[in-house]
């Protein structure tokens, strides 16, 4: 219940802004009609759910209202929560890291909280009793290497690093060699903050992937894109561009507690088909946790007593 409370608190801005408006709108209606659905769709779009996804939610809602014989507008919010959970659950949200070692490649532009997220993910797996090695392959910034070293120390993970300007693929090779020797469970690779239109950075990412595929051909591999929830629909656009340029298996969505744009989670999953695997709702080391669609939907849409 600890993280659910953090999640509910973290989604407060979205709940008050978007869900609060939906709740007020529903209270203003005495019957469920086309006008209600039109207003609901508009409010969902304003909440960064996206036009396509808002339309889908309202379509599914119309069917349920008819099938269940729902006549009171106030009953609709619970149905929205259920639909949200179903959309977010499609395709699964669990990390697949069953081999020893498994490897997580972490991608994202500077400023989204990428290196911090890596530190928190490392801490999560160390707390589960796993041996973790961090690969400091963001060699374009000395600060990124130093930051990752601090996180390694804080979380109890090993780290493999070279100097600023060194070959990122060589760092990854060394990290894999070290992990094999030490019996590491999970390797987490930090990569340079990159934009989709910077070809040389994408080429470098492809080189890292080739090293991973060559050295760990049978390992479970996850490629996580870190996105800043406060950017709303821009996060969806960013994810779409990265997905075109490189394979992504999941999203890490940070800074949900600092925005009223929490609806972007639905837009990312529904329009791109990329599952959200971790969400961050605060600054503390345990404020980044695996994403639970039902908990998220309940925290966002369902009023809890007390």
Positions at the binding site: 108-115, 190-194, 254-257
Q: How far apart are CA 109 and CA 56, in angstroms?
A: 30
Among the listed residues 306, 301, 305, the one whose alpha carbon sits nearest the alpha carbon of residue 74: 301
With b for 16 or more beta-carbon neighbours within 10 A and e for fewer, the 111-120 pattern comes to ebbbbbbbbb
User: What is the SS3 assignment for 256?
Assistant: helix
What gap in Å lies between CA 103 and CA 222, rounded to an integer? 6
- Whole-angstrom Cα distance, residue 153 to residue 261? 33
Strand order in the sheet with 186-191: 158-160, 132-137, 186-191, 102-107, 221-228, 250-254, 276-280, 288-290
Q: Which residues are annotated as a binding site for GTP?
A: 108-115, 190-194, 254-257
């Amino acid at each position: 219940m600890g993280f659910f409370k953090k999640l509910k608190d973290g989604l407060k801005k979205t709940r008050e802004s978007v869900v609060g408006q939906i709740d007020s709108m529903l209270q203003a209606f005495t019957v469920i009609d086309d006008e209600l659905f039109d207003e609901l769709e508009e409010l969902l779009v304003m909440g960064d759910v996206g036009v396509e996804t808002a339309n889908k939610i309202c379509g599914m809602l119309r069917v349920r209202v008819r099938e269940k014989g729902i006549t009171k507008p106030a009953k609709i919010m619970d149905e929205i929560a259920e639909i949200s959970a179903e959309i977010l659950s499609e395709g699964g949200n669990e990390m697949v890291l069953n081999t020893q070692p498994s490897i997580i490649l972490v991608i994202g532009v500077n400023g989204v909280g990428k290196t911090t997220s890596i530190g928190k993910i490392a801490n999560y797996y160390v707390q589960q009793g796993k041996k973790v090695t961090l690969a400091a392959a963001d060699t374009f910034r000395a600060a990124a290497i130093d930051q990752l070293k601090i996180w390694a120390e804080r979380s109890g993970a090993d780290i493999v690093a070279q100097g600023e300007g060194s070959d990122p693929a060589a760092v990854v090779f060394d990290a894999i060699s070290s992990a094999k020797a030490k019996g590491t469970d999970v390797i987490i690779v930090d990569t340079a903050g990159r934009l989709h239109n910077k070809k040389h950075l994408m080429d470098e990412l492809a080189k890292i992937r080739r090293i991973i595929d060559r050295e760990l051909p049978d390992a479970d591999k996850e490629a996580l894109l870190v996105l800043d929830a406060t950017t709303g629909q821009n996060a969806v656009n960013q994810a779409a561009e990265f997905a075109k340029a490189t394979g992504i298996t999941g999203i890490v969505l940070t800074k949900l507690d600092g925005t009223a744009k929490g609806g972007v989670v639905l837009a990312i999953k529904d329009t791109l088909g990329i599952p959200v695997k971790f969400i961050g709702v605060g600054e503390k080391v345990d404020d980044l946790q695996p994403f639970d669609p039902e908990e998220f939907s309940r925290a966002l849409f369902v009023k809890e007593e007390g």
